[in-house]
């Protein structure tokens, strides 16, 4: 069995790799090549632990991720909101063959999901990004966006000003981007071609009237029942694309309006995988408002980990554990 720490994975898993792995997951999902039970949550006083198994037939890869969601961590303990561990098994025997840090993989593949949505749903000339939320997930989103669009301007808002200032300073320098902090979510959204939300909010943070025609919105933050980031009238106005319909309506951005009978399944245009494989059109007009709801697929983690494991073996990276 091989153990891979974060430093090992960072050497061999870049954003380009994450984009490829996520697109591969969406394609496999569209072709029915994934066995992926619903996520199982263990609720705790200040957060939850989540179990995410998946089997990907197309590459014969199976495993599971255990991930936490503790929104108060950054303020109370200087830990990330999300941390994870991934186990990969031998499909034929069930033997664990690899254990690896999943925190970095989660951030990268979540960012890549937003990037893939922009590749297929945003305008080709999209150049201005508005970000609501300035945590770890926001960094991954921007890393992916610059791979698929020529981004020239970024505006960022976070309810904690020091977080947005740190994001602008550190990420702007790392990615060589001009990032401006703004005083409100409205300022971040108005005039942006792509809007990314990465908050833990349980009420809308982006209003319909702020959003210009032709905008693409990537809603990332809603990942448990009760969370939401987008105004209902905005959802009604836009073309809604999701990573998985069942998941989106139970834990994703659509969970609250669907539960309350305000969004019907028929109002969801489709899944991103259907667009990638050509079953449905992506952006159809320049003025169309597109909304991508991503709550993350376990298959994204397993496909990413599978390729990381193969690369680690080839590069002789990692610690071999004896049992």
**Domain residue spans in the chain?**
2-105+299-320, 114-296
The string of pLDDT tens digits covering residues 282-312 is 999 999 999 999 999 999 999 999 999 999 9
CA neighbor of 112 nearest in space, from 140, 92, 84, 139: 140
Q: What positions carry a catalytic annotation?
A: 65
The pLDDT of 99-124, averaged and rounded, is 98
- Confidence class of residue 6 from pLDDT cuts 50, 70 and 90? very high
What would the CATH number be for the domain defined by 114-296? 3.40.50.720
Rounded to 5 degrees, φ, ψ at 125 are -95, 15
- Confidence class of residue 75 from pLDDT cuts 50, 70 and 90? confident
The string of pLDDT tens digits covering residues 9-51 is 999 999 999 999 999 999 999 999 999 999 999 999 999 999 9
Residue the block writes with tokens 């263990």: 42
Q: Centre a 10 Å sphere on the Cβ of residue 8 and count the other Cβ atoms it contains.
A: 20
Residue the block writes with tokens 């489709």: 270
CA neighbor of 273 nearest in space, from 56, 40, 107, 51: 56
CA neighbor of 251 nearest in space, from 202, 206, 205, 196: 202
The set of residues, in sequence order, having a beta carbon less than 8 Å from that of 76 and lying 6+ positions away, is none
The string of pLDDT tens digits covering residues 171-200 is 999 999 999 999 999 999 999 999 999 999
The string of pLDDT tens digits covering residues 218-272 is 999 999 999 999 999 999 999 999 999 999 999 999 999 999 999 999 999 999 9
Say what the pLDDT of residue 322 is: 84
Same fold, 2-105+299-320 and 114-296: no
Q: Which fold has domain 2-105+299-320?
A: ornithine cyclodeaminase, domain 1 (3.30.1780)
Average pLDDT, the chain: 97
């Amino acid at each position: 069995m091989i153990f891979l720490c974060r430093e090992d994975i960072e050497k061999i898993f870049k954003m380009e790799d994450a984009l490829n792995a996520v697109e591969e997951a969406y394609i496999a999902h569209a072709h029915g090549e994934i066995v992926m039970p619903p996520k199982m949550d263990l609720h705790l006083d200040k957060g939850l632990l989540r179990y995410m198994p998946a089997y990907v037939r197309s590459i014969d890869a199976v495993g599971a991720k255990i991930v936490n969601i503790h929104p108060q961590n950054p303020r109370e303990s200087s830990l990330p909101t999300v941390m994870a561990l991934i186990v990969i098994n031998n499909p034929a025997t069930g033997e664990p063959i690899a254990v690896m840090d999943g925190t970095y993989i989660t951030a990268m593949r979540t960012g890549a999901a937003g990037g893939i949505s922009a590749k297929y749903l945003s305008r080709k000339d999209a150049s201005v990004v508005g970000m609501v939320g300035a945590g770890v997930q926001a960094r991954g989103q921007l890393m992916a966006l610059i791979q698929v669009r020529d981004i020239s301007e970024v505006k960022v808002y976070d309810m904690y000003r020091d977080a947005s200032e740190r994001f602008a300073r550190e990420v702007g320098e790392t990615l060589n981007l001009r990032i401006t902090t703004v005083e409100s979510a409205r300022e971040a959204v108005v005039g942006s071609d792509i809007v990314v939300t990465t908050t833990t909010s349980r009420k809308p943070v982006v209003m319909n009237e702020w959003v210009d025609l032709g905008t693409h919105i990537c809603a990332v933050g809603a990942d448990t029942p009760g969370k939401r980031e987008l105004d209902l009238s905005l959802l009604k106005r836009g073309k809604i694309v999701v990573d998985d319909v069942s998941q989106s309506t139970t834990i994703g951005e659509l969970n609250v309006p669907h539960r309350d009978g305000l969004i019907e399944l028929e109002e969801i245009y489709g899944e991103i995988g259907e667009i990638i494989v050509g079953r449905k059109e992506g952006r159809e007009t320049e003025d169309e408002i597109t909304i991508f709801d991503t709550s993350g697929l376990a298959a994204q983690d397993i496909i990413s980990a599978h390729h990381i494991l193969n690369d680690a073996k080839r590069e002789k990276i990692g610690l071999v554990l004896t049992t």
